[in-house]
Amino acid sequence: MPFWSAVNGTSHDPKRQSRFKVSIPALNNKETVWYAKSCTKPAAEVKTAQHRFLNHTFNYPGSVTWNDVDIELVDPTDPVDAAASLAQLLAFMGYQIPSGESNLINISKRKATTALGTITISQIDDQGQPIEQWTLNQAFVKKFDWGSYKYDSDDLNTLKLTVTYDWASCIKEAKSLDPANQSNAVSVNDSKSYWKDTSSDDTLI
């Protein structure tokens, strides 16, 4: 039965774009950043290689590239000042303001990924339970945007992050989000070409 006609005690709503939460350890002490205004989901692009033979062109799959994730936040001031936290994050990545003396400290991937922590994007149901969770692996912030000021606007101040990462992994359904089951999720960096939760028969992607 389709979801729009099977409304009963066991039916579930389809996933909705507005039901999500983002966790960014660097901004809120490993707690959920409830003030995320919007967030793009991970997207994977498969590179292709072409081989031409006479009048024919044949395509072959190549390497996989994961697209950046854009996160927009409202700066709540309390309990955390997100704008100040972003500036601190940039410093933790290894960036230092130039000074009169030579400074040999640089940004590195180790410092950038460690400072940000593991970002998770969770789709939740009407009970607030996670039904789909994306993890951005070895992620770091590629672009910081502290927004703008306008005299003629009363809108809330928003901040934007562009996050790049090496690969994303996905876990489906609340029962699979338990830490004990996360190791059962196969991501694209493994030998298989699909994600599967070995605790059930459901193919994730």
The alpha carbon torsion through 68, 69, 75, 78 (nearest 10 deg) reads -120
What lies within 8 Å, CB to CB, of 153 at 6+ separation is: none
Q: For residue 69, what pLDDT is reported?
A: 95
pLDDT along the chain (205 residues), means of 10: 64 81 77 78 93 93 93 84 88 85 83 92 86 93 92 91 94 57 44 38 40
56 domain-assigned: no
200 domain-assigned: no
105 domain-assigned: yes
Q: How many angstroms from the chain centroid is the CA of residue 2?
A: 30
191 domain-assigned: no
190 domain-assigned: no
Relative orientation angle of helices 82-92 and 109-116, to the nearest 10 degrees: 150
pLDDT, one tens digit per residue, over 116-141 is: 989 999 988 888 888 889 999 999 99
53 domain-assigned: no
79 domain-assigned: yes
Number of domains in the chain: 1
Domain enclosing residue 168, as ranges = 20-46+64-182
> DSSP secondary-structure letter at 186?
-
51 domain-assigned: no
Q: For residue 173, what pLDDT is reported?
A: 66
Residue 133, domain CATH: 2.30.110
